[in-house]
Structure 1
Amino acid sequence: MDEILADILLRGYGGWNSRQALQVLHKIFPKDSAIQPSLVIVYFGGNDSVLPDHSCPGSHVPLPEYIENMRTIALHLKSLSEKTRVIFLTAPPVNCALMKEKLSADIAERRTMETCRKYAEACVELCKKIDVKCIDMWTAIQKRDDWLTSCFTDGIHFTAEGSQIIAEEILKVLEEADWEPSLNWKSLPIEFDYVGLN
């Protein structure tokens, strides 16, 4: 069996929003790095869309600022190299009843379907304007009939089923994109040819 060559670096910043990401963007993705990423998948919007809470003001980012933050992130990433590709993920839907049951009533009140929808739609529109591939998690998750009960562990975070939907959407973008070089896993370089076991 051939070994496909791809190094994947996963950066997860739990609870972060697009404003916080801007503060470290140049440290995580410096323009002067000798090696630049081929693909960056960016997800912000879920925390940005949380309704303001004066007792805990950290998460909410107003929609116009969110749009500008995402534009800045996209333009920086696209400027890293001619071969750096970017995919944005929109805010997903939420299950408010499950949030209330598993987390708290306060969290459920501050994360609403309506605000998530607005941030998701804004991300889709921005991506069209700046030529960035976008995976509309808001729509993709809700295509499944039982999404409310099968896609979330606590109303916010994905189960394996929810994650599978998004993984399939990412693979679809990679297969359909006309990027050169292609980032479809079937066309990635092979590190070593098959070596016999003699």
Structure 2
Amino acid sequence: MFDKDRFIQNCIEAVAEGKLAVQAVVAEAVSDRASLISALGEPAHAGLSTLYRSDDLTIIDFAWAPCMSLMPHNHQMFSVVGIYSGREDNLFWGRTKTSIEAIGAKSLGAGEVVVLGEPIIHSVLNPIGKMTRAIHVYGGDFFQPHSPRSEWEHETLTERSWNMERVKQLFAEAESRFNATANG
């Protein structure tokens, strides 16, 4: 049975060892998806719920709206992503002289985990018609990283400063769009 407090403690201990130790903790958690869903509950809305936050560790429970896309962005710290319901498609980007370009992709289904290194730029898509749930564990303070974060505008791939309020608005808009089409 998933125990949130024990999971947080395991992540605190693992982050001192590095991202591969965190990966093992997250992999164990998402291997029992039913228990994880039971412990964390069904989300009322798309968005993110912070389970733990400190200077060297942030744990977030993400609920991705159906068919939602999040613009390319970086974290300035490593992250470990574990999917426990639905699907999350990650497109990886590399810097060019003037912008970024796609360099790879990874599709994750329930029970799968990926480690993203500190320099990674990625965008995220929930390609299915239901909520996707994921635990993201970051090796730092996701909300106030030591180095400034960037995001890239979807259409022009123009770099700009990361804006958490804009991200929260994207989650709300994606949920609203889906609800409008589902009820229309």
- TM-score w.r.t. the length of structure 1 is 0.30
Higher relative contact order (CA 8 A, sep 6+): 2
Q: Name the structure with the higher helix share.
A: 1
Q: Name the structure with the higher strand share.
A: 2
- TM-score w.r.t. the length of structure 2 is 0.31
